[in-house]
Amino acid sequence: MEGRLVPRVAVAVFVVRDGEQVLLGRRLSSIGDSSFALPGGHLEFGESWEECAAREVKEETGLDIHRVEFLKVTNNVLRDEVRPAHYVTILMRAVLVDEAQSTPQNLEPEKCEGWDWYKWSDLPKPLFGPLALQVQSGFSPFLCHS
Ligand code: IPR
Ligand code: MG
């Protein structure tokens, strides 16, 4: 089987703020290009989900998170992408270590147009497909108790 058709594990993080905002960035990628998605990425060998969440948020935005909690696991078969892919995605929730330092940096500009905070009640479009499915299903990181 071609390498990229093997299911992989990803971690995506709802970094939540003020009880109503989440951090999203517009992807520059062969998967979900131009759509708004959570920070996150591939689980590396030996990592816990919490470690992966903190590493990816730091690498992508420069922000430090804590109180990292598991919320949900999702199965994302992305058949219609330029490069089809299958991810088992672990959804985590976290808050900033320092709420006063909440300005995200765009540290991987080749992968993202930029990060910003969005109200859960007024999310930007288009959302990345797997995230859109969660929203459509009624899932909310603010109503979810781990
Ligand atoms: P990286 O590791 O580049 O941050 O991965 P990603 O953000 O493309 O996430 C991979 C999993 C997605 C496509 C569900
Ligand atoms: Mg990423």
- Domain locations along the chain: 9-97
Helix H or strand E segment including 132: helix 129-136
The DSSP letter of residue 59 is: H
Give the single-character DSSP code of 61: H
Spatial CA neighbour of 26 closest among 37, 10, 18:
37
**CATH homologous superfamily, domain 9-97:** Nucleoside Triphosphate Pyrophosphohydrolase (3.90.79.10)
Q: Which residue from 26, 78, 111 has its CB within 8 A of the most atoms of ligand 1, so it is best to mutate?
A: 111
Our answer on whether the CB atom of 25 is closer than 6 Å to any ligand 1 atom is: no
The SS3 assignment for 99 reads coil
89 lines ligand 1 (CB under 6 A): yes
Query: How many residues appear in the chain?
Result: 146
- 136 CA from centroid of ligand 2 (Å): 22
**pLDDT score, position 123:** 98
CB proximity list for 24: less than 8 A, separation 6 or greater: 36, 37, 38, 115, 116, 118, 123, 124
Atom of ligand 1 at shortest range from CA of 60 = 4
With a threshold of 0.85, does the pTM exceed it?
yes
| Closest C-alpha among 146, 129, 103, 143 to residue 20 | 143
* Cα dist from 26 to 7, 58, 85, 102, whole Å: 23, 17, 19, 18
Measure the CA–CA gap between 137 and 100, rounded to whole angstroms.
33
42 lines ligand 1 (CB under 6 A): yes
Report CA(36)–ligand 2 centroid distance (Å): 11
Local confidence pLDDT in tens for the 146 residues of the chain: 555 689 999 999 999 999 999 999 999 999 999 999 999 999 999 999 999 999 999 999 999 999 999 999 999 999 999 889 999 999 999 999 999 999 999 999 999 999 999 999 999 999 999 999 999 999 999 997 76
